[in-house]
Amino acid sequence: MGFHSRSRRTGGRDVLPDLAPVELGPSSQQLSRVAIRRDRPESSAVKALVRGKVPNHMRSTVLSVQTQHHYGELYAEFLKARKRVFIDAKHWDLPNVDGMEFDQYDTPQSRSVVVHEFGEVLAGIRLLPTTARCGCYSYMLRDAQRGLLEGIPPHVLYEKAPVADHIWEATRLFVSPDVEAERRIPVQALLLTEMARAAVAGGATHVIGIVPAVFKRWMARLGMGALPLGPKLVIDGDRTQAAVMHVAAVAGQPKRQTTLH
């Protein structure tokens, strides 16, 4: 395959060459392509977020096993929203119980970023360190490459799946179909910005994941950049591609209004 010769050894592990921690120096120049795009006009929704203004009464909350009890039924509503999107609408074959969707990656090692308004879940995404382990499973892209997952081909990545503290994976990204068309971009912008902050808070500089194949245009609308990590594939009826985002680039922006306890 040829990717071992191009990989970098860090702490005894292979990682993708363009994903070295920013503090290593020269590699930060290589990563400039996936930083926030400053060279293109931003939408009014993104400009509002940069100024620290959240549209209407939207809030973002980062949930973990240790903190979810502070937020009432929000985690259960997040899992219910996932079921409505991935099982009811997309017809994916996933575990579910009591109207909630879940899988082997919903563990105490994961974090869930939820955008909500008046108790209604508008959007969400799950984060997991690439160093995570639960039985025979690690994280989705790596397990797909190892042939452990049906529906995601082993060639989903061009190179060997990274295992490093500074690289996290994002999965189960969704925006509720109930969100009106004119609000979808502000919701997406808030979700991805807070995802980046949550990952950086956990020690990450980069987030990888499977995104829509039109992700370059999709991310550009939000004022962010990303790079492909794998070929374009049709997975569960969606045209997708593995990609990486340099989340450390957004860590210095003004903090959005979020729920705090």
Kindly tell me if the per-residue pLDDT of 260 is higher than 90: no
CATH of 4-53+123-177+184-250 among 3.90.245, 1.10.3210, 3.40.630, 3.40.1350: 3.40.630
Average pLDDT, the chain: 79
pLDDT tens string 174-184: 999 999 998 99
Residue 224: the pLDDT is 64
pLDDT tens string 40-78: 444 555 555 544 455 568 999 999 999 999 999 999 999
The rounded percent of the chain whose pLDDT value lies above 70 is 72
Give the pTM. 0.78
- Are 197 and 115 spatial neighbours (Cβ–Cβ below 8 Å)? no
Q: Where are the domains of the chain?
A: 4-53+123-177+184-250
Mean pLDDT of 202-214: 90
Q: What is the number of residues in the chain? A: 261
Of 102-116, 125-139, 162-176, 235-249, where does mean pLDDT reach its minimum? Answer: 235-249
pLDDT tens string 76-109: 999 999 999 999 999 999 999 999 999 999 999 9
Kindly tell me if the per-residue pLDDT of 201 is higher than 80: yes
